[in-house]
Amino acid sequence: MRKTLLFLGLTLVAAFGIGYLALRDDQPPRPPDNGKPPGAPSLPYKSGGPLPAQAADIAQDLASSDAATQRAALTPELDHALEAGRLLPEGTRIDLSEDSWHEANGYANAQATLTKPGKPAQHVLMGFAKRSTGWRITVVEVLK
């Protein structure tokens, strides 16, 4: 009797295991943890509008030879979070891409090419925040 119950128990466990494996293999593939299907682009880019002159001027201030002018281009929050002194070396160029401006609810972004002296050019995304004094830079991120 004991052998029969042990045999039935093992048979039942094996049947459930085989059933689970068979059903699991019939499931459609799931995307990776980030929720994006394999091969999909990270962020599809949509053309934006023309750059506001004041925002373009602020971006150029970030490349100024004067450290105070560079820092005045930032939001106060970002300015306080960074170490004192120059942000970019003298001779740095920032070339904003035309028609790359995207704006919503007091925040905006634009693409640019950042070129530091003696270094290869980098494609960057610049984030802006609208303040009482106009547009200020809140982030600059290198795009890959």
Domains of the chain (ranges; CATH) run 53-142 (3.10.450.50)
pLDDT digits (tens, 9 = 90+) for 79-112: 999 999 999 999 999 999 988 999 999 999 999 9
In this prediction, residue 75 carries a pLDDT of 95
Kindly indicate the confidence band of residue 47, based on its pLDDT and cuts at 50, 70 and 90: confident
Q: Which residue reads 């919503």 in tokens? A: 104
pTM for this entry = 0.67
Are the C-beta atoms of 137 and 75 separated by less than 8 Å? Answer: yes
In this prediction, residue 2 carries a pLDDT of 73
> What is the DSSP secondary structure assignment for residue 28, as one 8-state letter?
P
